[in-house]
Amino acid sequence: MTHDHHDDRPQLTPAQAEAALSPPPGRNGGDLVVETLQGLGATTVFGLPGQHALGMFDALRRSSLSYVGLRVENNAGFAADAYGRITGEVAPLLLSTGPGALTSLAALQEAAAASAPVLAISSQIPTAGLGGGRHGYLHELRDQKASFRDIVKSVHTVRTASQIPSAIAAAWESALTAPHGPVWVEIPQDVLLAETILPVVTAMDATPRELYPRPELTVAAAHLLSKAERPAIIAGGGVVRSDASGKLRALAEKLNAPVVTTFGGKGAFPWEHPLSLRSWLEDRHTTDFLESADVLLVVGSGLGELSSNYHTFAPRGRVIQIEADAGKLESNHPALGIHSDAREALSDLLEAVEDREDATAAERVRTVLEKVRARIDAQDLTLEQQVLASVREALPDTAPSFWDMTILAYWAWSAFDARHPNTMHSAQGAGGLGYGFPAAIGAAAADPTRPVLAVSGDGGAMYSIAELATARQYGLPVTWLIVDDGGYGILREYMTGAFGEATGTELSRPDFVALAESFGVPAVRTTPESLTEDLAKALAAPGPSVVVLPALLRMFEPTHL
């Protein structure tokens, strides 16, 4: 039997065939990069030019790609990360060699931890210098890709023009195969600059592999859940990434199983639902409740440090873990491990489980939430709760928010109602400072029709001040709330608690309002009482804005110590 492998491939029109035989003059390796990205469906790229990457950046001029240039490579990486999270599409990130490439490392670590599909394409020193020969080229590293191999999902080095389309397509497929993540392509300067007579790149195929659960595991999991007396569910970021919140809700209701969302899974389950235990993971009452479940379904989470109340969580029942990252299966707790995309596994489970009656589930959820509420209320933290409530009131329900590593964000992890899936994002994957504002820029580039909120402390804000120029240049609707407490607030608390006093946490900082205005960005200094009004007004105005809140916020007491 013979069969034609070309039956399902796109056929060239006569005009395209003619163009393939006589490609336009003046194209180089950079054109192959942008043509491939266009062929794969990219519309927006992020980055920052550099000497070795100029061939790639010049080619942007001849493309239909929209370019968003940030002022620091790490911030460009955070912007690409957010674009990937919000759209679920690959976010190309164009970088230069050596220092330019290396400056993006912390952002790529966050993208890896949060499963954001970032396609980093970096230049390299000329081909003659590859292989660690120590020729002394500007920006030369002995082995540039070695710095990225531990962080990204896959590494692709190009040495000739013909390799460019296939390398980028392979990286694209890798970035979008569950779990999503960052990937690395590097192309030497001379390959990017050399004229090419290769035909213009047209349709590219880089369809990611689907990750389905094995049927015998679905049957076993469905049996355990259907027969459970006290089932519970922990929903992580994988539910959000795979757009599976509807499946999760249907399964929880069919099983009458209470649901906790992790900090990365915010919005995966409705906050006000009778089965919602919300996100109070740093609370012993929640931990005790989850430990008492006889069957615990963990979906899209590795039960890492923050999701396990700092590894104090010790489940007593059977654990079923659905996880697209095979390396996270049973990495913290013995489980029936199901290597699958969350959406596919939940879909199969939904068909396989039996309806489970449980008249007590909603009442047990209410009891836990009342205990949590009483614990927080006993700590005199009215200001913190007021500020968070003000942010929630000012922010439109569908507007995305991006939270830096700051005390208000740590409150938001547990206490903020993300009213829609995939609207609340933070840097809790890798925990680096400076995420909030550049990430919000990336989200605004993805959809400039709705406002985006960034939340930072004064310490984290100083990482990203340069991007006020970016927000202004592109007129992006990003409102930046800076909570100014005069230092690294959470580190001040940690050190004072551990050592009696803090060292290195107090910061001299600028007048943030005057600084924003010097970039042409309107800014206002607010108070806890006027925050709702000032923030709502800023979010409603077109273009970027800054709201500064001088306030000393405190964390609620931990329960894991």
Tokens of 423: 């609207």
Minimal CA–CA distance to 257: which of 308, 294, 213? Answer: 294
CA 403 to CA 391: how far, in whole Å?
Answer: 12
Which residues lie below 8 Å from residue 354, measured CB to CB, with a gap of 6+? 222, 226
pLDDT band at 16 (very low <50, low <70, confident <90, very high): confident
pLDDT at 2 over 60: no
Q: Tell me, what's the pLDDT at 7?
A: 52
Which residues lie below 8 Å from residue 151, measured CB to CB, with a gap of 6+? 105, 108, 109, 112, 182
Residues 399-418, mean pLDDT to the nearest whole number? 97
DSSP H or E segment with residue 480: strand 478-484
pLDDT at 222 over 50: yes
pLDDT at 95 over 50: yes
pTM summary value: 0.96
> What are 304-335's pLDDT values in tens digits?
999 999 999 999 999 999 999 999 999 999 99
**Is residue 206 a contact partner of residue 37, using CB atoms and an 8 Å limit?**
no
Which residues lie below 8 Å from residue 428, measured CB to CB, with a gap of 6+? 263, 264, 306, 405, 413
> What are 335-378's pLDDT values in tens digits?
999 999 999 999 999 999 999 999 999 999 999 999 999 999 99
Name the pairing type of β-strands 155-157 and 91-95. unpaired
Minimal CA–CA distance to 535: which of 551, 549, 520, 518? Answer: 549
| HEC string for 124-193 | ECCHHHCCCCCCCCCCCCCCCCHHHHCCCCCEEECCCCCHHHHHHHHHHHHHHCCCCCCEEEEEEHHHHH
**Which residues are 547's β-sheet partners?**
481, 524
DSSP 28: B
> What are 486-530's pLDDT values in tens digits?
899 889 989 999 999 999 999 998 999 999 999 999 999 999 999
CA dihedral of residues 416, 417, 421, 422 (deg, nearest 10): -30
Q: Tell me, what's the pLDDT at 349?
A: 98
pLDDT band at 10 (very low <50, low <70, confident <90, very high): low
Minimal CA–CA distance to 186: which of 135, 126, 238, 245? Answer: 126
DSSP 307: G
Residues 412-439, mean pLDDT to the nearest whole number? 96
pLDDT at 469 over 80: yes
